[in-house]
Structure 1
Amino acid sequence: MNALQQDIAQLIIDTLNLEDLQAADIPPEQPLFGQGLGLDSVDALELALALQKRYDIQIASDSRDARQHFATVASLAAFVEAQRAACAS
């Protein structure tokens, strides 16, 4: 798990009050919804707000791609990196 993935995993834990977990307990490729971590749509909204605030990025609420970006910690990290790169250029 790279530093960004670990930071995002910790952000998930802190934002959603998953006190019984540590960042290392969430593998980068583990699904965040359904049978994976078990997050729901309300969790996704809270997480999106936290990601926007922490990383100063924009997440379009009507984006069909949002679901795939929120699939795993690894996909969220890739999305954050892409958003940062787009803002830097």
Structure 2
Amino acid sequence: MKKTIDELVVELRAELIKQLNLEDMLPEGFNENTPLFGEGLGLDSIDSLELVVLLDKNYGIKLKDPKEGRHVFQSIRTMAEYIHQNSTRV
């Protein structure tokens, strides 16, 4: 059965902390709409590359267009929605 967007949100929160070495942050420390870059979690361009790898490795999604990535990586919610619509692995 396909995962719901809410299930993906929970999964992505934990995965981001692990993948991006955000050890001092708990999944409950930010919500699904917190911006990933800038004033939100403060991720940078290196982190965005890690997110691209995460999408490919965990969900079989390859981002080819940088503009698409800017939309997908706005927040945990936008990532979950994109994965829900585009992955055959969930």
Seq. identity, %: 34
Partner of 1:74: 77
How far is 1:30 from its partner? 0.5
User: Any conservation in 2 of the 1:30–1:72 contact (CA below 8 Å)?
Assistant: yes
1: CA distance between counterparts of 2:17 and 2:51? Answer: 10
Counterparts in 2 of 1:41-80, with a 5 A limit?
A: 41-60=45-64, 62-80=65-83
Whether 1:18 and 2:22 are equivalent positions in the alignment is yes
Whether 1:28 and 2:32 are equivalent positions in the alignment is yes
How far is 1:68 from its partner? 1.0
* Corresponding letter in the other structure for 1:65: E
User: Any conservation in 2 of the 1:4–1:77 contact (CA below 8 Å)?
Assistant: yes
TM-score, normalised by the number of residues in structure 2: 0.85
> Higher RCO, 1 or 2 (CA under 8 Å, sep at least 6)?
2
TM-score, normalised by the number of residues in structure 1: 0.86
Structure 2 regions of 5+ residues with no counterpart? none
Runs of 4+ in 1 over 3 A off after TM superposition: none
Structure 1 regions of 5+ residues with no counterpart? none
* Corresponding letter in the other structure for 1:67: R
User: Any conservation in 2 of the 1:6–1:24 contact (CA below 8 Å)?
Assistant: no
Aligned length: 85
* Match for residue 12 of structure 2 among 8, 27, 32: 8
* Corresponding letter in the other structure for 2:84: E
User: Any conservation in 2 of the 1:31–1:72 contact (CA below 8 Å)?
Assistant: yes
SS of structure 2 residue aligned to 1:2: helix
